[in-house]
Amino acid sequence: MQQIEMASINGEFHWARGLTQDLLKDCTESDLNSQLRPEFGPLWKQFRHIGRVHENYLHALKTGKVEFGIQNCTYSGGASREALLGYFDQLTYRHKLELEKVRSSLSIDWFGDPTTVLIHVCRLIAHETLHHGQLILCWRALNKSFPKSWSSWGEQDKR
pLDDT in tens, the chain (159 residues): 356 687 888 899 999 999 999 999 999 999 999 998 888 899 999 999 999 999 999 999 999 999 999 999 999 999 999 999 999 999 999 999 999 888 878 999 999 999 999 999 999 999 999 999 999 999 999 999 999 999 988 876 654
Report the C-alpha gap between 122 and 149 in whole angstroms.
21
Under CATH, domain 2-153 is a member of which superfamily?
dinb family like domain (1.20.120.450)
CA 66/CA 157 separation, integer angstroms = 38
**Domain coordinates of the chain in residue numbers?**
2-153
Which helix (H) or strand (E) segment is 127 a member of? helix 117-141
Residue 150, exposed/middle/buried by CB under 10 A (0-12, 13-18, 19+)?
Answer: buried
